[in-house]
Structure 1
Amino acid sequence: MNTVLIKNAKIVNEGTIFEGDVLIENEFIVEIAESISPKLSSCKIIDAEGSYLIPGAIDDQVHFREPGLTHKGDIASESRAAVAGGITSFIEQPNTVPNAVTQEILEEKYQIAAKTSYANYSFMMGGTNDNLEEILKTNPKNVAGIKLFLGSSTGNMLVDNQETLEKIFSSTKMLIAVHCEDETTIKNNLERYKLQFGEDIPIEFHHQIRSAEACYISSSKAIELAKKTGARLHIFHLSTAKEMELFTNKIPLEEKQITAEVCVHHLWFSDEDYKTKGNFIKWNPAIKTADDRTALWEALLDDRIDVIATDHAPHTLEEKQQSYLKAPSGGPLVQHAVVAMFEANHQGKISVEKIVEKMCHNPAKIFKIEKRGFIKEGFYADLVIVNPSLPWNVKKENILAKCGWSPFDGYNFKSRITHTFVNGELVYHNFKVKDIPVGKRLLFDR
Structure 2
Amino acid sequence: MGKTLLKNGKIVNEGVICEVDVLLDGDTISKISNDISDSNATVMDLEGKYMLPGIIDDQVHFREPGLTHKGNISSESRAAVAGGITTFMEQPNTNPQTTTIKKLEEKFSVANKTSFANYSFLFGGTNDNLEELKRLDKNACSGIKLFLGSSTGNMLVDDEVVIENIFRNTEMVISAHCEDENTIRENLAKYKSEYGDDIPIKYHPIIRSEEACYISSSRAIALAKKTGARLHVFHLSTGKETDLFRNDIPLEEKKITAEVCIHHLWFSDKDYQDKGTLIKWNPAVKTSTDRETLWQALLDDRIDVIATDHAPHLLSEKNNVYTKAPSGGPLVQHALPAMLEKHLEGVISLEKIVEKMSHNPAKLFQIEKRGFLREGYFADLTVVDLKAPWQVSKENIYYKCGWSPFEGNTFQSKVSHTFVNGHLAFSEGKLSEKRNAKRLTFNR
TM over 0.5: yes
Q: Over residues 235-266 of structure 1, what are the superposed CA-to-partner deviations in whole Å (9 max), with x where a residue is unaligned?
A: 00000011011011000000000010000000
Contact 1:420 1:429 in 2 (8 A): yes
Is the aligned partner of 1:433 residue 2:440?
A: no
Is the aligned partner of 1:10 residue 2:10?
A: yes
Query: In structure 2, what is the equivalent of residue 60 of structure 1?
Result: 58
SS at match of 2:175: strand
Query: In structure 1, what is the equivalent of residue 331 of structure 2?
Result: 333
SS at match of 1:64: coil
1:191-340 alignment runs, 5 A limit: 191-340=189-338
Matched letter for residue 183 of structure 1: E
**Distance of 2:138 and 2:381 partners within structure 1:** 26
1:406-445 alignment runs, 5 A limit: 406-445=404-443
Bigger shift: 373-382 or 433-442? 433-442
Deviation at 1:145, TM superposition (A): 0.2
**Distance of 1:156 and 1:327 partners within structure 2:** 16
Aligned length: 444
Bigger shift: 354-363 or 140-149? 140-149
Contact 1:67 1:97 in 2 (8 A): yes
Matched letter for residue 369 of structure 1: I
Bigger shift: 194-203 or 418-427? 194-203
Query: In structure 2, what is the equivalent of residue 117 of structure 1?
Result: 115
SS at match of 1:390: coil
Is the aligned partner of 1:26 residue 2:26?
A: yes
Deviation at 1:438, TM superposition (A): 1.5
Identical columns (%):
64
1:130 to 128, 131, 136: 128
Deviation at 1:324, TM superposition (A): 1.1
Contact 1:239 1:296 in 2 (8 A): yes
Contact 1:10 1:49 in 2 (8 A): no
**Distance of 1:155 and 1:427 partners within structure 2:** 32
Q: Can you give the 5+ residue segments of structure 2 that lack an aligned partner in the other structure?
A: none
**Distance of 2:423 and 2:162 partners within structure 1:** 44
Deviation at 1:155, TM superposition (A): 4.5
Contact 1:55 1:382 in 2 (8 A): yes
Query: In structure 1, what is the equivalent of residue 166 of structure 2?
Result: 168
Query: In structure 1, what is the equivalent of residue 398 of structure 2?
Result: 400
Contact 2:197 2:324 in 1 (8 A): no
**Distance of 2:247 and 2:120 partners within structure 1:** 28
Matched letter for residue 60 of structure 1: D
Deviation at 1:439, TM superposition (A): 1.1
**Distance of 1:49 and 1:414 partners within structure 2:** 17
Contact 2:92 2:122 in 1 (8 A): yes
Query: In structure 1, what is the equivalent of residue 363 of structure 2?
Result: 365
Query: In structure 1, what is the equivalent of residue 387 of structure 2?
Result: 389
Bigger shift: 188-197 or 204-213? 188-197
Query: In structure 2, what is the equivalent of residue 45 of structure 1?
Result: 43
Query: In structure 2, what is the equivalent of residue 153 of structure 1?
Result: 151
Q: Over residues 399-439 of structure 1, what are the superposed CA-to-partner deviations in whole Å (9 max), with x where a residue is unaligned?
A: 00100000000110000101000000000011111101221
**Distance of 2:48 and 2:3 partners within structure 1:** 22
Deviation at 1:186, TM superposition (A): 0.2
Deviation at 1:337, TM superposition (A): 0.3
Deviation at 1:49, TM superposition (A): 2.1
Deviation at 1:322, TM superposition (A): 0.8
Matched letter for residue 302 of structure 1: D
Q: Over residues 268-327 of structure 1, what are the superposed CA-to-partner deviations in whole Å (9 max), with x where a residue is unaligned?
A: 000000000001100000000000000000000000000000000000010011111110
Q: Over residues 357-381 of structure 1, what are the superposed CA-to-partner deviations in whole Å (9 max), with x where a residue is unaligned?
A: 0000000000000000000000000
Contact 1:142 1:441 in 2 (8 A): no
**Distance of 1:418 and 1:197 partners within structure 2:** 47
Q: Over residues 78-113 of structure 1, what are the superposed CA-to-partner deviations in whole Å (9 max), with x where a residue is unaligned?
A: 000000000000000000000000000110000000
Q: Can you give the 5+ residue segments of structure 1 that lack an aligned partner in the other structure?
A: none
**Distance of 1:228 and 1:199 partners within structure 2:** 41
SS at match of 2:154: helix
**Cα RMSD between the aligned structures?**
0.7
